[in-house]
Amino acid sequence: MWIDAVKQAIGFANLLDFYELFETLGKGKYGVVKKAIHKHSNKQCAVKLVKKKDLTIKDLELLRREIEVLKVCQHPNIIRFYDVFENQDYIYIVMELLTGGDLFRYLQKREFAIPEKRAQ
Protein backbone atom coordinates (compact mmCIF):
# COMPACT_ATOMS: atom_id res chain seq x y z
CA MET A 1 0.00 0.00 0.00
CA TRP A 2 2.81 2.43 0.86
CA ILE A 3 4.54 1.67 -2.49
CA ASP A 4 1.37 2.75 -4.31
CA ALA A 5 1.25 5.92 -2.22
CA VAL A 6 4.89 6.74 -3.05
CA LYS A 7 4.28 6.10 -6.76
CA GLN A 8 1.29 8.41 -6.71
CA ALA A 9 3.21 11.10 -4.81
CA ILE A 10 6.08 11.13 -7.33
CA GLY A 11 3.80 10.99 -10.36
CA PHE A 12 4.69 7.41 -11.37
CA ALA A 13 2.42 6.05 -14.09
CA ASN A 14 2.39 2.75 -15.94
CA LEU A 15 1.86 2.93 -19.72
CA LEU A 16 -0.48 -0.07 -19.65
CA ASP A 17 -2.79 1.70 -17.19
CA PHE A 18 -3.58 4.21 -19.94
CA TYR A 19 -2.91 2.49 -23.28
CA GLU A 20 -3.60 -0.87 -24.87
CA LEU A 21 -0.83 -1.97 -27.24
CA PHE A 22 -1.44 -3.72 -30.56
CA GLU A 23 0.58 -4.75 -33.64
CA THR A 24 4.07 -3.57 -34.46
CA LEU A 25 4.07 -0.78 -37.03
CA GLY A 26 7.80 -0.55 -37.56
CA LYS A 27 11.27 -1.09 -36.21
CA GLY A 28 14.20 1.26 -35.99
CA LYS A 29 17.60 1.74 -34.45
CA TYR A 30 16.20 2.40 -30.99
CA GLY A 31 13.33 -0.08 -30.80
CA VAL A 32 9.87 -0.78 -32.13
CA VAL A 33 6.76 1.30 -32.73
CA LYS A 34 3.39 -0.22 -31.87
CA LYS A 35 -0.14 0.88 -32.55
CA ALA A 36 -2.02 1.74 -29.35
CA ILE A 37 -5.39 2.98 -28.16
CA HIS A 38 -5.91 5.29 -25.19
CA LYS A 39 -8.19 3.36 -22.81
CA HIS A 40 -10.31 6.35 -21.75
CA SER A 41 -10.68 8.30 -25.02
CA ASN A 42 -10.33 5.40 -27.50
CA LYS A 43 -7.99 7.60 -29.53
CA GLN A 44 -5.48 5.73 -31.67
CA CYS A 45 -1.80 6.59 -31.35
CA ALA A 46 1.68 5.15 -31.82
CA VAL A 47 4.01 4.14 -29.00
CA LYS A 48 7.77 3.94 -29.52
CA LEU A 49 9.25 1.33 -27.14
CA VAL A 50 12.94 1.92 -26.49
CA LYS A 51 14.93 -0.64 -24.51
CA LYS A 52 17.34 1.32 -22.31
CA LYS A 53 19.97 -1.42 -22.03
CA ASP A 54 20.50 -1.23 -25.82
CA LEU A 55 21.43 2.47 -25.59
CA THR A 56 24.79 4.06 -24.99
CA ILE A 57 24.94 7.08 -22.69
CA LYS A 58 25.15 9.29 -25.80
CA ASP A 59 22.13 7.56 -27.39
CA LEU A 60 20.13 8.02 -24.20
CA GLU A 61 21.00 11.72 -24.12
CA LEU A 62 19.99 12.13 -27.80
CA LEU A 63 16.70 10.35 -27.11
CA ARG A 64 15.95 12.59 -24.14
CA ARG A 65 16.75 15.62 -26.31
CA GLU A 66 14.39 14.29 -29.04
CA ILE A 67 11.64 14.01 -26.43
CA GLU A 68 12.21 17.58 -25.23
CA VAL A 69 12.15 18.89 -28.83
CA LEU A 70 8.91 17.03 -29.55
CA LYS A 71 7.34 18.50 -26.41
CA VAL A 72 7.89 22.08 -27.59
CA CYS A 73 7.33 21.64 -31.34
CA GLN A 74 3.67 22.04 -32.22
CA HIS A 75 3.42 22.30 -36.01
CA PRO A 76 1.13 20.62 -38.58
CA ASN A 77 4.15 19.15 -40.39
CA ILE A 78 5.75 17.62 -37.29
CA ILE A 79 4.42 14.51 -35.59
CA ARG A 80 2.53 15.36 -32.39
CA PHE A 81 3.95 14.22 -29.07
CA TYR A 82 1.36 13.09 -26.51
CA ASP A 83 3.16 11.57 -23.55
CA VAL A 84 6.24 9.76 -22.26
CA PHE A 85 6.52 6.94 -19.75
CA GLU A 86 9.65 5.38 -18.31
CA ASN A 87 10.47 2.43 -16.15
CA GLN A 88 13.68 0.62 -15.25
CA ASP A 89 13.92 -1.13 -18.63
CA TYR A 90 12.10 1.01 -21.21
CA ILE A 91 11.22 4.50 -22.35
CA TYR A 92 7.80 4.72 -24.04
CA ILE A 93 7.11 7.71 -26.30
CA VAL A 94 3.43 8.19 -27.16
CA MET A 95 2.88 10.03 -30.45
CA GLU A 96 0.33 10.77 -33.11
CA LEU A 97 -0.51 7.76 -35.30
CA LEU A 98 0.34 8.44 -38.93
CA THR A 99 -0.83 6.00 -41.57
CA GLY A 100 0.44 5.41 -45.08
CA GLY A 101 3.91 4.07 -44.34
CA ASP A 102 7.19 5.79 -43.60
CA LEU A 103 8.67 8.83 -45.33
CA PHE A 104 10.97 6.74 -47.51
CA ARG A 105 8.03 4.77 -48.95
CA TYR A 106 6.04 7.98 -49.44
CA LEU A 107 8.82 9.54 -51.48
CA GLN A 108 9.48 6.31 -53.35
CA LYS A 109 5.83 6.09 -54.51
CA ARG A 110 6.11 9.60 -55.94
CA GLU A 111 9.41 8.82 -57.67
CA PHE A 112 11.09 11.54 -55.65
CA ALA A 113 14.84 11.26 -56.09
CA ILE A 114 17.35 12.87 -53.78
CA PRO A 115 21.00 11.93 -53.45
CA GLU A 116 21.69 10.08 -50.21
CA LYS A 117 24.42 12.56 -49.23
CA ARG A 118 21.91 15.43 -49.41
CA ALA A 119 19.29 13.44 -47.50
CA GLN A 120 21.79 12.91 -44.66
Residues 31 and 50 sit within 8 Å (Cβ to Cβ)? yes
- Our count of domains for the chain comes to 1
Q: Would you give per-residue pLDDT tens digits along the chain (120 residues)?
A: 776 666 565 555 789 989 999 999 988 877 899 999 999 999 999 999 999 998 999 999 999 998 999 899 888 888 899 999 988 889 999 999 988 777 777 777 877 777 777 766
Nearest to 90 by CA among 56, 54, 37: 54
Range of the domain at 78: 2-119
C-alpha dihedral, 90 to 95 to 100 to 106, nearest 10°: -90
Separation of alpha carbons 4 and 7, rounded Å = 5
Q: Is the overall model pTM greater than 0.95, yes or no?
A: no
Q: What CATH number is associated with residue 16?
A: 3.30.200.20
Strand order in the sheet with 81-86: 19-28, 31-38, 44-51, 90-95, 81-86
